[in-house]
Amino acid sequence: MLGPVVMDVSGTTLTEDDRRRIASPLVGMVILFTRNFENPEQLRALCREIHEAKPGVLISVDHEGGRVQRFRDGFTRLPALAQYGRMYEHDAGEAIRASWSHGYVLAAELLAHGVDFSFAPDLDLDWGHSCVIGHRSFSRSPKVVAELALAMIDGMHAAGMATCGKHFPGHGWANADSHKELPEDTRFQAEIIGQDAKPYAWLGSALDSVMTAHVMYPDVDAIPATFSSRWLQDVLREKCGFQGVIFSDDLAMGGALGLGGIVQRAEAALRAGCDALILCNDAAQTDDLLSGLEWKATPQFAARASRLSPRRAIESMESLQSDPVYVDAKKRVPATDADLVDWEE
């Protein structure tokens, strides 16, 4: 990752404006969405185009399974993570094995199309409150979340892809949608750290990166966790011992808007301890950020960011068909339970 900014692109091929933005020394990663996908061949061509436009830039996607699966045609349909939590209740070993397979298939198929990185797995606890988490969570139990997430992480690593736990310290309690407004979690700090943040402490160095939550926890700080050094430095770095990359959640989301203009938001996130800044769906703000943010690379940033690069090259989906690990893993990914399908993004 060459710089701290994670930006999106407009369509299924690069425009001149896309190329101009990607060329900025601040841009280290491009994130893709469903609008950037027509079919597998087009996706491979777009990824080649991005990599050729700026060698070293990474390509990412939010591709977890369930409703958050950006690419469908030509990809294995991955179930919501809650399905593995339900399996765990009846057969913990089989659930762990299936979660490993989920991670392997997810990562291998993305790598085969030229995508370097996925923001997965989700580590939020399902308290039954959040309108944006729900079935994206493995479980309400931090122990079950950590066990199943570790299996998924091991599967992604085996395929050659780095991982990202989200949304620190936890987005599963607060009801509001942080895409639109700022949620508040009014519990005491000890409960949040002892429950929602526990998987981060247990997983430790297995996680290559973490994404923050645009959620405010008034018992700890009067600003969202993305902009809070108490959460990112004192808890995540010090108490949990996390040494990887910290991504902000999208700085254009409603939960982040109270910190000023886009450059002010980015500076606040960096001061708090974020290493990387996601900004999507607002070309004008992206231009403002790239022209207004002052940032210098450090050896610490380079060391953390180096963990995000793919550890394995997969030439094509055809080559995966001769990979016995992939063939077996794909068989072990369960079909989606009908009652775990809610809404799609």
| Catalytic choice (129, 154, 179, 221) | 179
| Catalytic choice (116, 185, 249, 250) | 249
Render the burial of 279-316: b for 16+ CB within 10 Å, e for the rest.
bbeebebbebbbeebeeeeeeebeebbebbebeeebee
Cβ contact 250:286 at 8 Å: no
Q: Which two tokens stand for residue 325?
A: 């690990």
Mark whether 196 is an active-site residue: no
Q: Is 312 annotated as a binding residue?
A: no
Q: Is 44 annotated as a binding residue?
A: no
Q: Is 62 annotated as a binding residue?
A: yes
d(CA 151, CA 153): 5
d(CA 345, CA 343): 7
d(CA 287, CA 133): 31
Q: Is 136 annotated as a binding residue?
A: yes
d(CA 284, CA 340): 37
Q: Is 167 annotated as a binding residue?
A: yes
Torsion of CA 217, 220, 226, 228, to 10 degrees: 160
Look at residue 84 and give its three-state secondary structure.
helix
Cβ contact 83:340 at 8 Å: yes
Mark whether 328 is an active-site residue: no
Residues catalogued as catalytic: 179, 249
As annotated, the binding site for substrate includes 62, 70, 136, 166-167
As annotated, the binding site includes 62, 70, 136, 166-167
